[in-house]
Amino acid sequence: MINFNYETEFLIQNERRISDWILETIHEEGFKIEEVNYIFCDDDYLHKLNLEFLNHDTLTDIISFDYSVGKIIQGDIFISIERVEDNARDFNVSFDDEIHRVIIHGILHYCGYKDKSDIEATMMRDKENYYLTKLI
């Protein structure tokens, strides 16, 4: 089950289509879903979580808490709409493209993809691009 929660005035357009896309990604990666909660929020909200749980005094676009066990995905994904807006401008892409990239980025982490090294980051970006082409 995919749940969308809003701590800001932003709303996902066509939640059903986005939810189906996420589920297809999970299944294609060989996983099953228990529950994933997306929480869309602002910078202040996410910054507090970053300080409290990760001891990072920085702004970020996404924080995910992974409760998955084996091949069963479960977790909470917090996304700062303000960071996504800024990143879209910085990368010269549309807001929709950037929000979709961040949405699937969290799921790919749950599927075992990392992005700490340059090689991992390249693989993650390739997977993001692949799944973004499936959202039509």
- Burial class for 105, CB neighbours closer than 10 Å (0-12, 13-18, 19+): buried
Confidence of residue 107 (pLDDT cuts 50, 70, 90): very high
Residues annotated within a binding site: 105, 109, 115
Residues comprising the binding site for Zn(2+)? 105, 109, 115
Helix or strand (DSSP H, E) at 45: helix 43-54
What is the pLDDT, as a whole number, of residue 136?
A: 66
pLDDT tens digits, one per residue of 42-101: 999 989 988 878 777 877 889 999 999 999 999 999 999 999 999 999 999 999 999 999
pTM for the structure as a whole: 0.92
How do the domains of the chain map onto residue ranges?
Answer: 2-133
| CATH class, range 2-133 | alpha beta
The pLDDT mean for the chain works out to 93
